[in-house]
Amino acid sequence: MQKLSLDALAREHLERAAAAATGRSATTVYGGHEHVLRQTVLALTADTELAEHESPGEATLLVLRGRVRLTSGETSWDGRTGDLIALPDARHSLRAVEDAVVLLTVAKP
C-alpha cells in the first residue's frame, strides 16, 4: 500500500510550475500506461492552457486548488477547489483561470 499527500504534491508541483517556462508541472501518482487506471497531479499557473487534445478515455478532473475552465467545442465548464468534472468524450482544452492543481483520473479499457 502507498499513501500520498495530495496537499503536499499540490504545493510542490505549483512551485515547480511557477519556476517552469511552460507554467506547468505534473506527476503520475498511481498507475500508468500499462494499467487500466492512471491518476496524475497536474499544476498550471494562471492563464496556462493545455491546448485542445483528444479525450484520453473515461476520465475525471478533481480540482485540488484554484480555478480551471474545461472547454469542448462551444461548451465550457468552470471548476474550483473541490469540484469534480467528468471529461467529455471529445476534443477539449484546459485553462487555469488562476493558479490551479487538478487530479486527472483516466480509465482505459
**pLDDT tens digits along 56-86:** 789 999 999 999 999 999 999 999 999 999 9
Average pLDDT over residues 39-50: 96
Quote the pLDDT of residue 36: 87
Q: Residue 101 domain-assigned?
A: yes
Average pLDDT over residues 42-52: 96
Q: What is the pTM of this model?
A: 0.92
Quote the pLDDT of residue 22: 96
Quote the pLDDT of residue 43: 98
Domain extent, residue 40, equals 6-107
CATH number at residue 49: 2.60.120.10
Buried b (16+ CB within 10 A) or exposed e, 53-78: eeeeeebebbbbbbbbbbbbeeeebe
Quote the pLDDT of residue 99: 98
Q: Residue 1 domain-assigned?
A: no
Q: How many domains would you assign to the chain?
A: 1
Mean pLDDT score across all residues of the chain: 93
- Is residue 101 within 8 A of residue 79, CB to CB? The reply is no
